[in-house]
Amino acid sequence: AKADGRGCFKLYAEHMDTALRERRAMEGELRSAVANGELELHYQPLAEIEDGRVIGFEALVRWNNPRRGQVPPAKFIPLAEETGMIHDIGDWVIRQACRDATGWPAHMKVSVNLSGKQLTSFKMVQRVLDALHESGLPPQRLELEVTESVLINDPETTLELLRNLRELGVSIALDDFGTGYSSLSYLVRFPFDKLKIDSSFVQGAAESPENLAIVRSILSLAGYLNITTLAEGIETREHIELLRSEGCQQVQGFLLDKPMPQNALHQFSRYPIAG
């Protein structure tokens, strides 16, 4: 095997080469995706756990590429972040989401995911304002979702930026809560409107006492701080009954519906999930 040392290295180098070329190719195609109209938003309902009433939809971006088919966000958002394309893509997402939401019943909100990269400049405040003005959507109907990780690098500046966004009248949700660095102190210092409990704890709560303990402590903390709670990744009746009995207020997950294109949203107002 030792004699193969060089051959192995050459193979490895070729492999790297292929990976790099593939990355470049994808980068090039992603660069023209917005202009070519290849991005699309799908919407997943968020509902009150008590009566199944739909309170809004989360916008989840899809990339429909003629050659690659539908590329999931986990495959291209990281690339968009590394290359800076996330600013243009993120802009398109906010604008499109606001436009789409103006056609929904007036009590329904649209939730938009923001990447940490989008929160490094105060220009973001103007971009959100532009999207609201352009679409005519009242700020109270827009929710921005951020993860704990946005606070890692420069928490003071990021919190100031979030505060400015909130002053526009939009609400701010903390996404994937529990999976990132524990930022319990930020919870007290920043008035987040909602905590989205990550699906791993939601789905694990029925199986392990540790996960149940995490869910319980998030819910009690949110209760003290008067923050709305939503459980992500609800797939079964068991998940929903458990979260209901623990006092969680809102749910989202495949049990209700998967993310759907805008034109499939018309009839949704209530899901039969009442206990």
Task: By CB under 5 A, name the binding residues for Ca ion.
Answer: 113, 145, 175-176, 232
Does residue 254 interact with ligand C2E by CB under 6 A? Answer: yes
Q: Which amino acid belongs to residue 128? A: V
Q: Which amino acid belongs to residue 196? A: K
Pick the binder of ligand C2E from 38, 143, 148, 175 (CB under 6 A): 175
Residue 110 pairs with which residues in a beta bridge? 57, 142
73 vs 180, which CB is nearer to ligand C2E? 73
Of 111-119, 159-167, 208-216, 241-249: span binding ligand C2E (CB under 6 A)? 111-119
Does residue 72 interact with ligand C2E by CB under 6 A? Answer: yes
Secondary structure of 95-147 as H, E, C letters: HHHHHHHCCCCCCCEEEEECCHHHHCCCHHHHHHHHHHHHHCCCHHHEEEEEE
Pick the binder of ligand C2E from 259, 262, 265, 271 (CB under 6 A): 259
148 vs 175, which CB is nearer to Ca ion? 175
Count CA atoms closer than 13 A to 180's CA, side-chain side: 18
Residue 20 pairs with which residues in a beta bridge? none
CA 171 to mean position of chain CA atoms: 14
Instruction: Give the span between the Cα atoms of 65 and 155, in whole angstroms.
Output: 36
Does residue 1 interact with ligand C2E by CB under 6 A? Answer: no
Pick the binder of ligand C2E from 30, 101, 176, 222 (CB under 6 A): 176
Does residue 73 interact with ligand C2E by CB under 6 A? Answer: yes
Look up tokens 């019943």; give the residue. 105
Residue numbers at the binding site for ligand C2E (CB under 6 A): 44, 60-61, 72-74, 77, 93, 113-115, 175-176, 199, 233-235, 253-254, 259
